[in-house]
Structure 1
Amino acid sequence: QQHATQALEGGGAPLPEPVKLAMKLSSRVMTRTAYWV
């Protein structure tokens, strides 16, 4: 959450909900894949 706040204060745009969901799902895939590597 701190990173998001800093990004917004630095002029970044808020991410749409579908993008947030896609990022969350892709992080889960990467985490579970790393377990098997």
Structure 2
Amino acid sequence: MFHCELILIRSVSTMNFYLSFEKHHLKNQLTLARRLI
């Protein structure tokens, strides 16, 4: 039971990390595009 919850929490934190990383990457891409235009 506890082990399952631990895996769930870990996967959720990993997902949050990837989402924040993607958001940061998108922001960088947008700034690059603005510079080019």
TM-score normalised by length of structure 1: 0.57
Q: Name which structure has the greater RCO, CA cutoff 8 Å, separation 6+.
A: 1
TM-score (norm 2): 0.57
Question: How many pairs align?
Answer: 23
Larger radius of gyration: 2
| Structure 1: runs of 5+ lacking an equivalent | 1-14
Higher helix share: 2
Stretches of structure 2 that go unaligned for 5 or more consecutive residues are 1-6, 30-37
Taking only aligned residues, the RMSD between alpha carbons, in angstroms, comes to 1.4
After TM superposition, the runs of 4+ consecutive aligned structure 1 residues lying more than 2 A away are none
